[in-house]
Amino acid sequence: MGRVGTEETLQQHLILAGGGHSHALLLRRWAMEGLPRGVLITLVSRASTALYSGMVPGLIAGLYSRREAAIDLRRLCDRAGVCFVRAEITGLDPAKRELQLAGRPPLRWDRLSLDVGAVTTGTGGMAIKPLEPFLDWWESLAPGPPPGRVLGGGAAGVEVAMALKARGVRVELVRRGHSLALGTPAANRAGERMLAAAGVPLRSLDPEADDRASAHGSGPLVRCTGSRAPLWLAAGGLPCDPVTGRVFTEASLEVEGHPGVFACGDCGLVRSLPRPPSGVWAVRVAPVLAFNLRRSLRSEPLRRWNPPRHALQLLGDGGAVDGQPRALAMWGPLCLGPSRWLWRCKAWIDRRFITRFQALAPMAEQSPCRGCAAKLGADPLRAALERLSGAAAGAGKADGVLIGAEDPALEDAAVIAGSPEEGLVLQSLDGFPALVGDDWLNGRLTALHACSDLWACGARVESVQALVTLPRGRAALQEEWLLQTLAGVRSVLDPLGARLVGGHTLEQRSAAEGLSLALSVNGRCEPGRFWAKGDLAAGDRLLLSRPIGSGVLFAGAMAGAAEPEWIDGALELMAQSQQSLVELLAAHGCRACTDVTGFGLLGHLGEMLRAAPGPLRVQLKLQALPAFPGAVELLEQGFASSLAPANRSAWEELESGRVQAVPLTAPLRELLIDPQTCGPLLAAMPESEAEAALAAVRAAGFRWAELIGTVLAGPD
């Protein structure tokens, strides 16, 4: 999931802005052929998947699932060695060569390629573009949506109207003017015949009327009224068509007057060779874009794009007539159909296109897991600390050599000053190789992970120091990596009122080794509050603040087996700060706490039991154990984190009876030792307060929180 580079020093940064069809084809090409040498490439997209527009009408009609019509951009980036940044693009500054993102620092480029799609024009109703919000809205209407209307007489309007009809929705098509807008009179007549055969009424709107006039009536309105490129392209100073907002480019796809900036797809327009915004042209232009980006990076002459005069377009009815889909074929002035065999041709072409991405082979060699799963196993760590403690005692230096080293169950944070009556000053150190290729997000995740050591002790974070190890690269690139990483750290600290007070930087031997980050975190407990791991009592209930299973999810992602929504959902929860839980748990009498990280739930629970003052055991309630969506499925398929084999030593807790969990299936057994990055807090709550604490934690935004077990007295 992290950055993949080359052994040479990285010299240039190419940003692909947007996950359109042209960029998806670029990524596939690079996954098969390799990246340009010495270049860091970053894809920035608002979503981790890109829907193939040619299959969207079939998706609405129920002929395809969303999974069948989606390109997994994150997986594609992993295969190609490209960094993936999921963020909303809000603008660009050509003078500074910066791409502006919502809620985070801008990204600097040496070369920029724009394939950011378009948005539907007009107002009122639900816009067909962007596609993902439209499909979310459509799925929220099912089952049995009320009668509706589609506004727009172009190909999109006709296909969407018939797709809705195929799903049993009574729908009418509202066009502006007195004919459809399919390009030619022959196509318009054929489209009208298709609509009539499907029983879709066709109504004309006065050409001078505002689109909002069509909103009169009942039922949902779908707007397919043409599209325009995002407004921020023109606002950033790029030359744009005043009507469509599309960026004017040379025949080489380089933006007029802006060397090193390219535009294609729905947001680009070759002034001398204008073509309509269509997935057909986005696919055709991809090879020329790939060639010219390489040429531009080497400062070599660019190639002209010479598109054919016409392109084949296939327009399907979704099976609206009798459940048997048909399609029209349009090529220039010619129109053929509708017929079933043309639909079969369209379906074959669409499935062949999407399969080129979905069938992309996984990495030939599985890399070790990153994030917290890259840590040392519990056994060698415990053995080294025991030997160190013994050596120090033999030398007469047992006191103060390593706080807690004489006890293998170290606390999450070390007490370095203060007293229980006045408040304790705590310190912890944590870090790991970058879990994701997005430096800002990795900085945020690492900071949250490190801060959780203090939160697990009941402390607030006051200051942090950072050790950042950067890949080899040009000074400007290293500046960018460092800025993004530290900004991600600050995104956690600033809301806490904590400060980033300093740190240190190192350089890797090569670009291939990637970025790593470690943080020294300092904080303070209020007087009388310090949650030690072992302060358990019989009858306590164990509260887990959020799901587990992140280790196997990211291992599955590296193998190409994890669904994109699984990774998106996990990252969204992992990026949530748990600082607010400290006061909530304290208010309900929290006795003991730890954070579940590299050793897994079972390993950290074993630490709590070993540190307890007397013999205690835990009865786990497995049916309440929250797991990230997809984690159990991947475990059932045999996937596991690279740290899992070392963590299996914690199964001794089950075999000894200190932890009881029945019925324990093989996947759940593996889930208990799965290493976690930004893992949950595991808190021991008095039985009388447990249910109220759970309700408060869920109300604070931790809806996955559960009471997963009970502390019992004595050995089994």
Query: Among candidates 15, 215, 207, 194, which has minimal Cα distance to 116?
Result: 15
Label residue 401 by pLDDT band (50, 70, 90): very low
Has residue 2 been placed in a domain? no
Q: Are residues 103 and 151 in the same domain?
A: no
Has residue 137 been placed in a domain? yes
- pLDDT above 60: residue 400: no
Report in angstroms the alpha-carbon separations of 675 from 141, 375, 376, 541.
39, 9, 11, 23
> What average pLDDT does this structure show over 674-695?
97
Label residue 468 by pLDDT band (50, 70, 90): very high
| Spatial contact of 166 and 318, defined as CB atoms under 8 Å apart | yes
Has residue 442 been placed in a domain? yes
Interhelix angle 155-166/185-198, rounded to 10 degrees, is: 20
Query: Among candidates 323, 319, 327, which has minimal Cα distance to 349?
Result: 327
pLDDT at 274: 85
Q: Is the sign of the CA dihedral 341, 346, 349, 351 positive or negative?
A: negative
Quote the domain boundaries for residue 633.
532-716
Report in angstroms the alpha-carbon separations of 494 from 374, 444, 487, 521, 634.
28, 11, 10, 14, 36
| Spatial contact of 704 and 475, defined as CB atoms under 8 Å apart | no
Has residue 576 been placed in a domain? yes
More confident residue, 560 or 404: 560
Label residue 396 by pLDDT band (50, 70, 90): low
User: Which pLDDT tens digit goes with each residue over 49-73?
Assistant: 999 989 999 999 999 999 999 999 9
Report in angstroms the alpha-carbon separations of 93 from 119, 426, 685.
21, 43, 52
Domain boundary (531, 547, 567) is at 531
Q: What is the CATH number of the domain that holds 478?
A: 3.30.1330.10
> What average pLDDT does this structure show over 659-680?
94
Has residue 637 been placed in a domain? yes
What number of H helices and E strands is found in the chain? 21, 33
Indicate the number of domains in the chain: 4
Q: Are residues 332 and 201 in the same domain?
A: yes
pLDDT at 384: 76
> What average pLDDT does this structure show over 690-696?
97
Q: Are residues 98 and 177 in the same domain?
A: no
Query: Among candidates 451, 387, 453, which has minimal Cα distance to 596?
Result: 453
- pLDDT above 80: residue 616: yes
For residue 103, count other CB atoms closer than 10 A to its CB: 9
pLDDT at 391: 66
Q: Are residues 552 and 684 in the same domain?
A: yes
DSSP string, 630-684: THHHHHHTT---TTHHHHGGGGHHHHHTSEE-SS--HHHHHHTT---SS--EEEE
Rounded to 5 degrees, what are φ and ψ at 644? -60, -45
Q: Which of 198-202, 328-332, 701-705 ranks highest by mean pLDDT?
A: 701-705
Has residue 382 been placed in a domain? no
Has residue 372 been placed in a domain? no
- pLDDT above 90: residue 552: yes
**3-state secondary structure at position 417:** strand
Token pair listed for 546: 């959020």
Q: Are residues 622 and 697 in the same domain?
A: yes
Q: Are residues 330 and 208 in the same domain?
A: yes
Report in angstroms the alpha-carbon separations of 157 from 10, 185, 193, 239, 408.
47, 17, 15, 29, 67
Q: Which amino acid is at 716?
A: D
CA 697 from chain center: how many Å?
25
User: Which pLDDT tens digit goes with each residue over 489-546?
Assistant: 999 999 999 999 999 999 988 777 889 999 999 999 999 899 999 999 999 999 999 9
Rounded to 5 degrees, what are φ and ψ at 43? -100, 130
> What average pLDDT does this structure show over 549-567?
93
With tokens 């005692």, the residue in question is 393
pLDDT at 428: 95
> What average pLDDT does this structure show over 173-186?
88
Label residue 365 by pLDDT band (50, 70, 90): low
Q: Are residues 306 and 325 in the same domain?
A: no
Q: What is the CATH number of the domain that holds 579?
A: 3.90.650.10
pLDDT at 549: 97
User: Which pLDDT tens digit goes with each residue over 11-24?
Assistant: 999 999 999 999 99
Report in angstroms the alpha-carbon separations of 166 from 223, 489, 609.
18, 50, 60
Has residue 548 been placed in a domain? yes
- DSSP 8-class letter at 246: P
Label residue 383 by pLDDT band (50, 70, 90): confident
Q: Which residues of 291-322 are buried (b: 16+ CB within 10 A; e: fewer)?
A: ebbeebbeeeebeebeeeeebebbbbbbbbbe
List the Cα angle 189/190/195 in 5-degree steps: 100
Give, for 326, the enclosing helix (H) or strand (E): none
**3-state secondary structure at position 226:** coil
Beta strand pairing call for 659-660 and 126-127: unpaired
Q: Are residues 104 and 134 in the same domain?
A: no
> What average pLDDT does this structure show over 410-423?
85
How much of the chain exceeds pLDDT 70, in percent? 91
Average pLDDT over the chain, rounded to whole? Answer: 89
> What average pLDDT does this structure show over 652-662?
92
499-507: strand order across its sheet: 414-419, 423-433, 516-524, 460-470, 499-507
Q: Are residues 570 and 703 in the same domain?
A: yes
Q: Are residues 32 and 48 in the same domain?
A: yes
How much of the chain exceeds pLDDT 90, in percent? 71
> What average pLDDT does this structure show over 620-643?
95
Give 610-642 as a 3 state SS string. HHCCCCEEEEECHHHCCECCCHHHHHHCCCCCC
Q: Is the sign of the CA dihedral 239, 237, 109, 89 positive or negative?
A: negative
Label residue 275 by pLDDT band (50, 70, 90): confident
Beta strand pairing call for 126-127 and 221-223: parallel
Q: Are residues 167 and 91 in the same domain?
A: no
Q: Are residues 221 and 292 in the same domain?
A: no
pLDDT at 421: 80
> What average pLDDT does this structure show over 204-220?
60
Q: Which of 4-8, 65-69, 99-103 ranks highest by mean pLDDT?
A: 99-103
Query: Among candidates 374, 716, 390, which has minimal Cα distance to 551?
Result: 374
User: Which pLDDT tens digit goes with each residue over 247-272?
Assistant: 999 999 999 999 999 999 999 999 98
Q: Is 228 left (phi over 0), alpha (psi -120 to 50) or beta?
A: beta
pLDDT at 385: 72
| Spatial contact of 138 and 164, defined as CB atoms under 8 Å apart | no
- pLDDT above 70: residue 220: yes
| Spatial contact of 411 and 610, defined as CB atoms under 8 Å apart | no
User: Which pLDDT tens digit goes with each residue over 560-571?
Assistant: 899 999 999 999
Burial of 680 (0-12, 13-18, 19+ CB in 10 A): buried
**3-state secondary structure at position 249:** strand
- pLDDT above 90: residue 408: no
Label residue 207 by pLDDT band (50, 70, 90): low
- Contacts of 223 by beta carbon, 8 Å cutoff, 6+ apart: 120, 122, 124, 125, 126, 127, 128, 151, 152, 211
Query: Among candidates 402, 442, 491, 389, which has minimal Cα distance to 102?
Result: 491
> What average pLDDT does this structure show over 77-104?
96
